[in-house]
């Protein structure tokens, strides 16, 4: 019976202690008509069989461990130091739960405290919480914080069209029954100046992404100026990997910084589990959702950590809580904490610089190809936009088939004006050889030189 340790003798002794003669008798309260339905499930499997079946199934996926990958758009293939996984596999961490009992949870609590610190320093904020489900839900919850900061007296929230499309969608799902009006992103073409002009006294928050969904670093000066003038909160969605190199969102003038922490030691894992982070200036700490760990002392005067500002949360405030979040992404926060600590001050910057140099090398080489053009109107970090001579899906099919390369993101899917535009991502994981192969592949595909059966890659 897989993970159930009972012997027949145990079962009989226990039933006797309870005073019933069968296990079935424990369920008399369930309406008889509905009791013990048949479950149509496969036969039980042993560990050996499970491993064999699931391993075989996994081979139907193309993975970044066998293929070169230039796909980003919110999920990234970054290096994960070996020790991160070793720490995550400590049962003491991953088989514990929320640290409700601080006396037996100081490990989890201190790790969260250090995580909060590093996220605060990276983003240039004063405080951070212990995580949200992902970057998208963190943005949705930022809207809630901004509404509350204005005591629900303002209705308008402006989104830059260059925020990740999934994030904008999730925020709309979250607030569909509430008095929030989203604007700014629908046409898909609003510039930072246009957005700054939309800010008025009814605007609770404006959100931008930095670097934006297209990888670019935009100039937020006008927006921040207008937001200040109208008392509008500025939320910056950011990539923590970029923050190790670029000016922090706090330095730019953000009040709230959210984003996806997957790039900090968490595998792509087909989209989750990831790590939403949420950081704010001091004046908003009491409004944010989720777990927050604070420092204190124990009965002997020793330093200790504990979950704090608990009265914000659903288990105490119930229908008055601003969010229902309970289980979060704790272990992913630990992964990020270990990752950032192991990388350290130098490693974090080094990774960001490698991304910059490799992405720029790739962009320069692709820019030289006939039929392709690279958008260099703004500085970019690790992603950039390439206009292609053919539909992106066709190019990607050829890249994977002939070159073993997972190509970029098809921007035409989300932005009607960006048909045939591909968003390419280059990280420290892409060697010069891989980049050169990508360039050669694009050249051959544009020239129509490839034939079925030509394979340029080996694995």
Partner 1 sequence: MENSTPQPLEKTSYELSQPGRQGIRLPDPDVPLTDIPADLCRTDLDFPEMGELDVVRHFIKLSQFNYSIDKGFYPLGSCTMKYNPKINEDMARLPGYAHVHPLQSQGTTQGALALMYRLQEWLCEISGFDAVSIQPAAGAHGEFAGILMIRKYHIDRGDVKRTKILVPDSAHGTNPATTSMAGLQAIELPSDKNGDVDLDVLRKACEQHKEELAGMMITVPSTLGVFEEHIVEIIKIVHEAGGLMYMDGANMNALLGVAKPGELGFDVMHYNLHKTFSTPHGGGGPGSGPVVCNEKLAPFRPGPVVEIIEEPQDEDDAPLYGWVMPDKSIGRLKAFHGNFGMHVRAYAYISAYGSDLPKVTHYAVLNANYIRARLKGTYLMPFDRMCGHELVIEGHWPDKAPGVHALDISKRLMDYNFHPPTNYFPLIVPEALLIEPTETESKEVLDSFIEAMLKIAEEAQNNPDLLHSAPHITPVKRVDEVKAAKDLVLCCRPTHIESAEAQ
Ligand X SMILES: Cc1ncc(COP(=O)(O)O)c(C=O)c1O
Residues that bind ligand X (CB under 6 A): 326-327
Q: How far apart are CA 170 and CA 136, in angstroms?
A: 6
- Strand, helix or coil at 362? helix
Query: Which is closer to ligand X, CB of 61 or CB of 327?
Result: 327
Query: Which is closer to partner 1, CB of 39 or CB of 377?
Result: 39
- Strand, helix or coil at 426? coil
Distances (CA, A) of 30 to 25, 50, 386, 441: 10, 33, 62, 64
Write out the binding residues for partner 1, residues 41-80 only, by CB under 8 A. Answer: 41-47, 49-51, 53-55, 57-66, 69, 71, 73-75, 77, 79
Q: Is 110 in the site for partner 1 (CB under 8 A)?
A: yes
Tokens 């990607």 belong to which residue? 396
Angle between helices 432-447 and 330-367 (to 10 degrees): 50
Shortest distance, position 406 Cβ to partner 1, whole Å = 6
Write out the binding residues for partner 1, residues 183-212 only, by CB under 8 A. Answer: none
Select from 193-201, 241-249, 440-448, 451-459 the region that touches partner 1 (CB under 8 A). Answer: 241-249
Report whether 258 contacts 142 (CB < 8 A): yes
Closest-CA residue to 402 (of 438, 363, 447, 366):
438
Query: Which is closer to ligand X, CB of 161 or CB of 330?
Result: 330
47 binds, among ligand X, partner 1, none (CB under 5 to 8 A by kind): partner 1
The one among 96, 192, 440, 450 contacting partner 1 by CB under 8 A? 96
φ, ψ dihedrals at 421, nearest 5°: -105, 135
345 binds, among ligand X, partner 1, none (CB under 5 to 8 A by kind): partner 1
Angle between helices 330-367 and 106-123 (to 10 degrees): 30
Spatial CB neighbours of 197, under 8 Å, sequence gap ≥ 6? 226
Q: Is 440 in the site for partner 1 (CB under 8 A)?
A: no
Q: Is 214 in the site for partner 1 (CB under 8 A)?
A: no
331 binds, among partner 1, ligand X, none (CB under 5 to 8 A by kind): partner 1
Q: Is 105 in the site for partner 1 (CB under 8 A)?
A: yes
Q: Is 319 in the site for partner 1 (CB under 8 A)?
A: yes
Tokens 């957005």 belong to which residue? 195
Shortest distance, position 366 Cβ to partner 1, whole Å = 13
Q: How far apart are CA 293 and CA 310, in angstroms?
A: 10
The one among 215, 263, 267, 441 contacting partner 1 by CB under 8 A? 267
Query: Which is closer to partner 1, CB of 304 or CB of 450?
Result: 304
CA atoms within 13 A on the CB side of 358: 23
Q: Is 391 in the site for partner 1 (CB under 8 A)?
A: no
220 binds, among partner 1, ligand X, none (CB under 5 to 8 A by kind): none
Mask: binding to partner 1, 287-316, rule CB under 8 A, as x and -?
----xxxxxxxxxxxxxxxx-xxx--xxxx
Shortest distance, position 402 Cβ to partner 1, whole Å = 14
Q: How far apart are CA 166 and CA 271, in angstroms?
A: 12
Rg of the chain, C-alpha, whole Å: 26
DSSP 8-state code for residue 400: I
26 binds, among partner 1, ligand X, none (CB under 5 to 8 A by kind): partner 1
């Amino acid at each position: 019976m897989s993970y159930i340790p009972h012997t027949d003798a145990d079962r009989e002794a226990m039933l006797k202690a309870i005073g019933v003669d069968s296990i079935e008798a424990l369920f008399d309260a369930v309406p008889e008509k509905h009791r013990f339905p048949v479950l149509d499930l496969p036969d039980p499997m042993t560990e050996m069989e499970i491993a064999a079946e699931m391993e075989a199934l996994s081979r139907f996926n193309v993975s970044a461990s066998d293929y070169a990958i230039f796909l980003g758009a919110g999920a990234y293939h970054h290096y994960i130091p070996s020790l991160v996984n070793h720490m995550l596999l400590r049962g003491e961490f991953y088989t514990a739960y929320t640290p409700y009992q601080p006396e037996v949870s100081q490990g989890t609590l201190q790790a969260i405290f250090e995580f909060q610190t590093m996220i605060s320093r990276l983003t240039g904020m004063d405080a951070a919480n212990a995580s949200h489900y992902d970057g998208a839900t963190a943005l949705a919850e930022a809207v809630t914080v901004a509404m509350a900061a204005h005591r629900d007296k303002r209705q308008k929230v402006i989104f830059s069209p260059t925020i990740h499309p999934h994030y904008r969608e999730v925020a709309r799902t979250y607030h569909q029954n509430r008095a929030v009006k989203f604007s700014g992103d629908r046409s898909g073409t609003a510039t930072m100046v246009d957005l700054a002009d939309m800010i008025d006294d009814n605007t609770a928050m404006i959100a931008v992404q930095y670097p934006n969904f297209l990888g670019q670093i935009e100039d937020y000066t006008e927006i921040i100026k207008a937001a200040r003038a109208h008392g509008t909160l500025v939320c910056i969605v950011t990539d923590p990997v970029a923050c190790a190199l670029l000016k922090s969102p706090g330095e730019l003038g953000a009040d709230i910084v959210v984003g996806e922490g997957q790039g900090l030691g968490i595998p792509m894992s087909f989209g989750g589990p990831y790590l939403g982070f949420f950081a704010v200036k001091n004046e908003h700490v009491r409004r944010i959702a989720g777990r927050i760990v604070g420092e204190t002392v124990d009965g002997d005067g020793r330093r200790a950590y504990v979950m704090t500002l608990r009265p914000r949360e659903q288990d105490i405030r119930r229908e008055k809580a601003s969010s229902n979040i309970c289980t979060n992404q704790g272990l992913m926060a630990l992964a990020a904490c270990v990752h950032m600590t192991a990388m350290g001050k130098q490693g974090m910057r080094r990774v960001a610089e490698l991304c910059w140099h490799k992405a720029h090398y790739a962009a320069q080489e692709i820019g030289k190809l006939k039929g392709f053009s690279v958008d260099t109107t703004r500085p970019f970090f690790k992603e950039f936009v390439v206009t292609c001579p053919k539909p992106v899906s066709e190019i990607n099919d050829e890249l994977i088939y002939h070159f073993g390369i997972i190509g970029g993101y098809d921007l035409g899917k989300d932005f009607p004006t960006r048909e045939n535009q591909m968003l390419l991502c280059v990280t420290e994981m892409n060697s010069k050889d891989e980049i050169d192969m990508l360039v050669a592949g694009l050249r051959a595909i544009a020239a129509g030189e490839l034939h079925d059966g030509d394979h340029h890659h080996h694995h």
